[in-house]
Amino acid sequence: MTEDAALAALAPLFEEVFDEPVPLTPALTAEDVEGWDSTRMIELVIAVEARFGIKLTTREVDGLASVGDLAALIARKAPR
């Protein structure tokens, strides 16, 4: 999976978690999205793991600084 494909696949997950469309860009951070707190992050991680069939470690999640980082992580870990 490419990073671009992962980013595109994240859009419906973000919409589900935030109950509205979130315009995703690789540079988007939690500070850019109203309501993106630790609870929402947990919901996103659970949704990502379920959608892509992967498990994210605490270290991996803690290392994410942007949506682009998340897309890159998914691209590396998602089954081909």
Q: Report yes or no: 80 and 1 within 8 Å, Cβ to Cβ.
A: yes
Banded model confidence at residue 80, pLDDT cuts 50, 70, 90: confident
Q: What is the pTM of this model?
A: 0.93
Residue 78 has what pLDDT? 92
Tokens of 29: 């951070």
Q: Report yes or no: 62 and 68 within 8 Å, Cβ to Cβ.
A: no
Find all residues with CB under 8 Å of 69, minimum gap 6, and list them: 63
Q: Report yes or no: 67 and 29 within 8 Å, Cβ to Cβ.
A: yes
Residue 37 has what pLDDT? 96
The tens digit of pLDDT for each residue in 15-62 reads 999 999 999 999 999 999 999 999 999 999 999 999 999 999 999 999
Mean pLDDT of 3-7: 95
CA distance 6 to 31: 21
Residue 79 has pLDDT above 90, yes or no: no
Angle between helices 67-77 and 3-18 (to 10 degrees): 120
What mean pLDDT, rounded, does the chain reach? 96
